[in-house]
Amino acid sequence: MKTAAVRGFRDILPEESALWQMLVTQARTSFAAYGFSEIIVPILEKTDLFARAIGETTDIVEKEMYTFPDRDESSLTLRPEGTASVIRAYIEHSLHQKEPVSKLFYIGPMFRRERPQKGRYRQFHQIGAEILGRDDPLIDAELLLMLHDFFVALQLEVTLDINSLGCPTCRPGYREQLRAFGESKLAALCEDCHSRLNRNPLRLLDCKKDGCRQATAQAPALADSLCDPCRTHFTSVQERLRQEQVRIVVNPRLVRGLDYYCRTSFEILAEGLGSQNAVCGGGRYDGLVEQLGGPAIPGIGFAIGVERLAMLIQAQNRDFATPPEVFIAPLGAAAEHQAFAVARRLRSSGYRVELESGGRGLKAQMRRADKLAARHVLILGEDELAAGKGTVRDMQTKTDRPMSVDLSLATPDLMNAIRNAGN
Ligand code: ATP
Ligand code: MG
- Residue among 261, 27, 246, 46 at smallest CA distance from 126: 27
Q: 133 and 43 share a domain?
A: yes
Q: 103 and 245 share a domain?
A: yes
Nearest CA to ligand 1 atom 23: 305
Q: 297 and 365 share a domain?
A: no
Q: How far apart are CA 273 and CA 277, in angstroms?
A: 5
Q: No. of H helices and E strands in the chain?
A: 16, 16
- Residue among 255, 249, 264 at smallest CA distance from 219: 255
* pLDDT tier at 422, thresholds 50, 70, 90: low
Give the model confidence (pLDDT) of 43-55 as tens digits: 999 999 999 998 8
Q: Which residues contact 94 (CB under 8 A, 6 or more apart)?
A: none
Q: 115 and 42 share a domain?
A: yes
b/e per residue 284-298 (b: at least 16 CB within 10 A): bbbbbbebbebeebb
Q: What is the pTM of this model?
A: 0.90
* pLDDT tier at 316, thresholds 50, 70, 90: confident
- Could you identify the atom of ligand 1 that is nearest to the CA of residue 308? 20
Q: How far apart are CA 30 and CA 387, in angstroms?
A: 51
Give the model confidence (pLDDT) of 317-338 as tens digits: 888 888 999 999 999 999 999 9
> Domain for residue 175, yes or no?
no
* pLDDT tier at 117, thresholds 50, 70, 90: very high
What integer is the mean pLDDT of 175-197? Answer: 89
CA 208 vs CA 204, 212, 254, 267, 276: distances in Å: 9, 8, 12, 15, 11
> If you average pLDDT over each of 65-79, 269-283, 318-332, 407-421, which comes out highest?
65-79
> Domain for residue 99, yes or no?
yes
Q: 300 and 369 share a domain?
A: no
Give the model confidence (pLDDT) of 190-238 as tens digits: 988 888 888 888 888 888 888 988 988 889 998 899 999 999 999 999 9
| Confidence at residue 399, expressed as pLDDT on a 0 to 100 scale | 67
* pLDDT tier at 86, thresholds 50, 70, 90: very high
Domain boundary among 289, 314, 339: 314
> Domain for residue 242, yes or no?
yes
Ligand 1 pocket mutation, candidates 50, 126, 302, criterion most atoms within 8 A of CB: 126
Q: Is 280 in the pocket of ligand 1 (CB under 6 A)?
A: yes
* 239 has a pLDDT exceeding 70: yes
Q: How far apart are CA 392 and CA 377, in angstroms?
A: 6
| Confidence at residue 195, expressed as pLDDT on a 0 to 100 scale | 86
Q: 300 and 337 share a domain?
A: no
| Confidence at residue 199, expressed as pLDDT on a 0 to 100 scale | 82
Nearest CA to ligand 1 atom 19: 305
∠ Cα 394 396 402 (to 5°): 20
- DSSP-derived 3-state class of residue 76: strand
Give the model confidence (pLDDT) of 22-48 as tens digits: 999 999 999 999 999 999 999 999 999
Q: How far apart are CA 127 and CA 107, in angstroms?
A: 4
Q: 375 and 290 share a domain?
A: no
Q: 399 and 306 share a domain?
A: no
Number of domains the chain is built from: 2
Ligand 1 pocket mutation, candidates 50, 276, 313, criterion most atoms within 8 A of CB: 276
| Confidence at residue 25, expressed as pLDDT on a 0 to 100 scale | 97
Domain boundary among 286, 314, 342: 314
Radius of gyration of the chain (CA): 28
> Domain for residue 199, yes or no?
no
Question: In the sheet where 376-380 sits, what is the strand order?
Answer: 353-355, 326-330, 376-380, 389-394, 403-406
Ligand 1 pocket mutation, candidates 20, 123, 280, 313, criterion most atoms within 8 A of CB: 280
- Could you identify the atom of ligand 1 that is nearest to the CA of residue 256? 6
Domain boundary among 265, 291, 314: 314
Give the model confidence (pLDDT) of 371-417 as tens digits: 999 999 999 998 888 888 899 998 888 765 667 888 889 999 999 99
* 259 has a pLDDT exceeding 80: no
Q: 231 and 146 share a domain?
A: yes
> Domain for residue 185, yes or no?
no
CATH of the domain at 271: 3.30.930.10
Q: 27 and 81 share a domain?
A: yes
Domain of residue 292, residue span: 14-170+226-314
| Confidence at residue 33, expressed as pLDDT on a 0 to 100 scale | 98
DSSP structure string for 364-379: HHHHHHHHTT-SEEEE
pLDDT, the chain, mean: 92
* 357 has a pLDDT exceeding 70: yes
CATH of the domain at 386: 3.40.50.800
> Domain for residue 9, yes or no?
no
Q: How far apart are CA 33 and CA 22, in angstroms?
A: 17
Q: 126 and 21 share a domain?
A: yes
Angle between helix 137-153 and helix 228-243 axes, rounded to 10 deg: 30
Q: 350 and 247 share a domain?
A: no
Q: Is 124 in the pocket of ligand 1 (CB under 6 A)?
A: yes
* pLDDT tier at 358, thresholds 50, 70, 90: confident
* 257 has a pLDDT exceeding 70: no
| Confidence at residue 400, expressed as pLDDT on a 0 to 100 scale | 59
What beta strand segments (E) does 314-365 contain? 326-330, 353-355
> Domain for residue 1, yes or no?
no
> Domain for residue 391, yes or no?
yes
CB 268 within 8 A of CB 147: yes
CA 374 vs CA 88, 391, 413: distances in Å: 48, 15, 19
